[in-house]
A = this chain, B = another copy of it.
Amino acid sequence: MSKTVELARHLETLKINNMYKNDFYWTWDKTDDEIDAVFTVADALRDLRERNKSTRVFDSGLGISIFRDNSTRTRFSFASACNLLGLEVQDLDEKTSQIAHGETVRETANMVSFMADVIGIRDDMFIGEGHKYQKTFMDAVKEGYRDGVLEQQPTLVNLQCDVDHPTQCMADMLHVIHHFGGVENLKGKKVAMTWAYSPSYGKPLSVPQGVIGLFTRFGMDVVLAHPEGYEVMPEIEEIAKRNAEATGGSYCKTNSMAEAFKDADIVYPKSWAPFAAMEERTKLYAAGDKEGIAALEKRLLAQNAEHKDWACTEEMMALTKEGKALYMHCLPADITGLSCAEGEVDNSVFDRYIIPLYKEASYKPYIIAAMIFLSQVKDPVRALMAMDEAPEQRKCF
């Protein structure tokens, strides 16, 4: 029995009827079975590709991507996922588009979705805005489908919003699952999701929020560490607490990086902006207050600079479980002495973990493909079985 068949049989045991024709906004919207299904299909698609099996679901069709922020990793991951399933990517570049001043999201959404099966949106810049944009967009295409404007109802893959970064965090988690040899080995593992110093400012909160919102579902002991003033959204902390209670793990917070690293099995040190400052920034941008933005930037950089000791140094790493915690990052990292003078992580630490870091990233295309698959394929078990048996090859000769 191939790995894919094994995974398909596991998929059969899960309750996932709600996934078909549904969007993927946040991991905490999804049941445990649904999260499991994404990991299962991701592994199956990877197995099929390794065995040169065709995984095309679509003979034609478009995946529309909207990146309201620069992106390499996520852009190529989305393109890879679409291609894997037979969709062609069409990017909405808002710079070369004729989107009229004041044109509604509803109009744009319908105009770019004529043959779209999937929409991928990254909008992580402004607290309170990214998710709202995605929601408005998807409500519009749902209406468009209902009204007969669109022949198909596209589904969303959230490629990062102001709240969650589900494709990143699920790729991170799948990496953790494989690293520790299965989800059953995660109970009691200590995870340190910690802030780290970066010479830039204003990095999104979606990764730390996504990590505490997801990793707490696996019975792990999740610690969020950051200097005072770098709080994340309280609603997400509530979710983390509830998850931990439900799975026999724990969630706690500290203002000491060392305390978080102490005996940790996994460390995820990464810079982010203070939530309150990001709220302020959103308001300043809305008001077009350039002076206010410049002053805020200055203040934030100064505030960051007070915490240069929050770095993933060799000394910090030595505090972790046997000095060998799994170091994680969503990349690109600010590497001390390589990409900046002082940053999130020592070059020697980063360098030692390069292969695991790249593997971590390599799950993202499959996570995205699995999200698309589960929202677009009516009978995913049958589809995987058929792909496993079919003579069709990805590379034909």
Beta-carbon contact of A98 and B111 below 8 Å: no
Q: Is A117 engaged at the interface, CB distance under 8 Å to the other chain?
A: yes
Q: Mark A359-372, 1 if CB is under 8 A from B, else 0.
A: 10110110000000
Which of A57-65, A273-281, A292-300 lies at the binding interface?
A57-65
- Minimum CB–CB distance from A105 to chain B (whole Å) comes to 12
Q: In whole angstroms, what is the CA distance A46 to B395 when docked?
A: 20
Beta-carbon contact of A99 and B332 below 8 Å: yes
CB contact between A92 and one of B72, B335, B361, B395 (< 8 Å): that residue: B72
Q: Is A96 engaged at the interface, CB distance under 8 Å to the other chain?
A: yes
Closest residue of chain B to A108 (Cβ to Cβ) is: B72
CB contact between A147 and one of B54, B333, B358, B393 (< 8 Å): that residue: B358
CB contact between A394 and one of B61, B79, B99, B333 (< 8 Å): that residue: B61
Interface set, chain A 342-397, CB cutoff 8 A to B: 354-355, 358-359, 361-362, 364-365, 376-380, 382-383, 386, 392-397
- Minimum CB–CB distance from A96 to chain B (whole Å) comes to 6
Beta-carbon contact of B61 and A395 below 8 Å: yes
CB contact between A98 and one of B60, B332, B339, B362 (< 8 Å): that residue: B332
Beta-carbon contact of A362 and B114 below 8 Å: yes
Q: Is A284 engaged at the interface, CB distance under 8 Å to the other chain?
A: no
Beta-carbon contact of A72 and B98 below 8 Å: yes
Work out how many copies of this chain go into the complex: 3
Q: Is A55 engaged at the interface, CB distance under 8 Å to the other chain?
A: yes
Which of A81-89, A206-214, A307-315 lies at the binding interface?
A81-89
Q: In whole angstroms, what is the CA distance A263 to B221 when docked?
A: 73
Beta-carbon contact of A60 and B55 below 8 Å: yes
Beta-carbon contact of B49 and A70 below 8 Å: no
The number of residues on chain A lying at the interface, defined by a beta carbon within 8 Å of a beta carbon of chain B, is 87
CB contact between A58 and one of B72, B73, B104, B394 (< 8 Å): that residue: B394
Beta-carbon contact of A57 and B396 below 8 Å: yes
Beta-carbon contact of A88 and B86 below 8 Å: no
- Minimum CB–CB distance from A222 to chain B (whole Å) comes to 27
Beta-carbon contact of B97 and A70 below 8 Å: yes
Closest residue of chain B to A147 (Cβ to Cβ) is: B355
What are 19 A-B contacts defined by CB distance under 8 Å?
A49-B115, A57-B397, A58-B394, A58-B396, A61-B83, A61-B395, A72-B99, A72-B111, A77-B114, A79-B90, A100-B332, A103-B332, A107-B332, A110-B362, A114-B362, A147-B358, A149-B359, A379-B397, A382-B397
Q: Which residues of A contact B (CB under 8 A)?
A: 46, 49-50, 54-62, 64, 67, 69-73, 75-77, 79-80, 83-86, 88-90, 92-93, 96-104, 106-108, 110-112, 114-115, 117, 144, 147-151, 331-335, 338-340, 354-355, 358-359, 361-362, 364-365, 376-380, 382-383, 386, 392-397
- Other A-B pairs, 14, CB within 8 Å; known A50-B151, A149-B361: A58-B396, A59-B394, A72-B92, A76-B111, A84-B115, A89-B90, A101-B339, A106-B354, A107-B332, A110-B362, A114-B364, A147-B359, A376-B395, A383-B397
